[in-house]
Amino acid sequence: MSQLLASMNNKTRGFTLLEVLVALTVLSIGLLGIAGMQLFSLKSSQDSSLRTHATYIAYGIIDKMRANRVQALAGTYDIALSTGPSGAQNCYSNICNPTQLAAFELNLWKCELGSYATDPICTAIPFNVTPALPIGNGSVALDAVNNQITVRVIWRDSANRKNLDLVNTPPQSLQIVAQL
């Protein structure tokens, strides 16, 4: 009888070790899955934050255009994606007419978007703004017939910033059409 118990004890000893190894493998795969979900959640949260910033910036220029409606309807705020900030009078420390104010606000807007953060105009004192979007840019277009403005904001999300082929990689974009 004792010999039978000793033989069973030797068999169960190896079986228990195998159960522990299988349990550790299953636990490891589960923990890797949880880590992957956490990483996906963080990336989605960052992308959502960038879209929120883009919306805020787009509505900011729309509000400025509504406040300077005559210049907005004259097309003074129209600007292409490829156009960077230009020399404009500092309306913080000087009195500006509505046309100068429009140019000043467009410069601030282009600097805030991010692509021109190292431009000498954006690093100058009144324009020393923190870029809100990675490699961000924007355009404003007026539809004078319908008194509508189209504001387009583009930027590179976290995955596209690592890709050096920026020409063939589509950026994230936001387009808002608003009534003046």
Lookup result for tokens 């190896």: 14
Q: Which of 128-137, 138-147, 165-174 has the lowest mean pLDDT?
A: 165-174
Number of compact structural domains in the chain: 1
Q: What is the pLDDT of residues 165-180, one digit of tens each?
A: 555 556 788 888 888 8
Backbone angles phi, psi at 128, to 5 degrees: -70, 80
Q: How far apart are CA 75 and CA 93, in angstroms?
A: 25
- Across residues 83-89, what is the average pLDDT? 82
Question: What pLDDT score was predicted for residue 61?
Answer: 93
Q: In which band, very low, low, confident or very high, does the pLDDT at 149 lie, cut at 50, 70 and 90?
A: very high
Question: What pLDDT score was predicted for residue 78?
Answer: 92
pTM for this prediction = 0.73
Question: What pLDDT score was predicted for residue 180?
Answer: 80
Question: What pLDDT score was predicted for residue 30?
Answer: 92
Residue 138 in contact with residue 152, Cβ under 8 Å? Answer: yes
Q: In which band, very low, low, confident or very high, does the pLDDT at 85 lie, cut at 50, 70 and 90?
A: confident
Q: Which domain holds residue 155?
A: 2-179
